[in-house]
Structure 1
């Protein structure tokens, strides 16, 4: 079982990346959010999950243990495989999914590509007792977030532009889209920004 990879990022694709560890290049599938944290030529660590099936072995990569844990939980749902689990984590992170499942919000879960009404209801039914909804921000949490907004937006902008370039989009096309999205909604985090940018660029 390969629990994690740590080494130089050799390449980044639309849905995968390759990290070299001790002279061996490991290809893994990942969400846009995870891919956005990688930079070609730099050393990175990703958490991994290995799925073994009759037709082969597939490695999946995650930016953190929470998303990997949710990936495993999702696959305990009847009829839900690893590809759909990755699709779910491409739309919502682990905390967001936990919130929607705990709240029984099947309609929100249906926004995941490939998830219909029956599957969304099944996810709520079978996972509701297995997830914990994150606690809401309390006290000064909101104020602290607001005070960081300017710097965070600038950092998120560069991070997402870099990720989009790594995914094959020219910087001259990616940067204006990202900057406009931040201007419209400065509090949008990097993951949400990347998802929206991919949607906008896909229309062009």
Structure 2
């Protein structure tokens, strides 16, 4: 089990990063709510991880706190929720927003996330309500709508911030036309990839 990585941030291509740990590059997928808090490329980074082994792949998911990872692990235990859907859920809303949806039985907001149908949303609200009681108030502290966004982009990547934002949304499960429309509506000259994704996700929620 790989529980934590500490090294140099080599690449940032949302929702995936590459972290160099003693010469070995680890590909890690992160929810956007954690991705926003990453340092610049070339700087030291430390992330908590969850390792998933499948017949056709070995996947690492990264988080900026143990609490965020714990919430991810609870989500993938829910009926019908796999790692990809859990990643999309934690990219589309902060932990505080997710807890609010569960506590207020708000399945309607959850349905707006790609891959979450009405039945899945209702089941999530039902199953997660009891599980979230164990997290306490600390669950609300790691994430914030005012998360710091790094202004630096990896200079080795030639795609424009708009192209990267669209690709990231598609990777999170959004349909290409929906991703393109949302990015076009929020994108402005000078915005970096992460800020475009953040605004696009907010516009779809």
Equivalent position of 1:162 in the other structure: 152
1:125-155 Cα shifts (integer Å, max 9, x gaps): 11110114876xxxxxxxxxxxxxxxx97x9
Secondary structure of residue in 1 paired with 2:47: strand
Instruction: Answer whether contact 1:101 1:128 (CA < 8 A) is retained.
Output: yes
Secondary structure of residue in 2 paired with 1:162: coil
Secondary structure of residue in 2 paired with 1:5: strand
Aligned-partner Cα distance in 2 for 1:25–1:126: 37
The structure with the largest helix share of the pair is: 1
Aligned-partner Cα distance in 2 for 1:194–1:64: 21
Instruction: Answer whether contact 1:9 1:40 (CA < 8 A) is retained.
Output: yes
- The alpha-carbon deviation at position 34 of structure 1 amounts to 2.5
Equivalent position of 1:5 in the other structure: 5
1:80-104 Cα shifts (integer Å, max 9, x gaps): 1000000000011223212211221
Instruction: Answer whether contact 1:164 1:174 (CA < 8 A) is retained.
Output: no
Aligned-partner Cα distance in 2 for 1:89–1:134: 18
2:63 aligned with 1:62, yes or no? yes
- Judged with a 3 Å threshold, the aligned counterparts in structure 2 of structure 1 residues 73 and 35 are, in CA distance, closer, same or farther, namely same
RMSD: 3.2
Aligned-partner Cα distance in 1 for 2:18–2:63: 13
- The alpha-carbon deviation at position 64 of structure 1 amounts to 1.5
In structure 1, list runs of 5 or more residues that go unmatched. Answer: 136-151, 179-190
- Judged with a 3 Å threshold, the aligned counterparts in structure 2 of structure 1 residues 26 and 11 are, in CA distance, closer, same or farther, namely same
Equivalent position of 1:113 in the other structure: 114
In structure 2, list runs of 5 or more residues that go unmatched. Answer: 138-144, 163-186
- Structure possessing the higher relative contact order (Cα contacts under 8 Å, 6 or more residues apart): 2
Q: How many residues align?
A: 168
- Judged with a 3 Å threshold, the aligned counterparts in structure 2 of structure 1 residues 60 and 117 are, in CA distance, closer, same or farther, namely same
Instruction: Answer whether contact 1:47 1:64 (CA < 8 A) is retained.
Output: yes
- The alpha-carbon deviation at position 170 of structure 1 amounts to 5.0
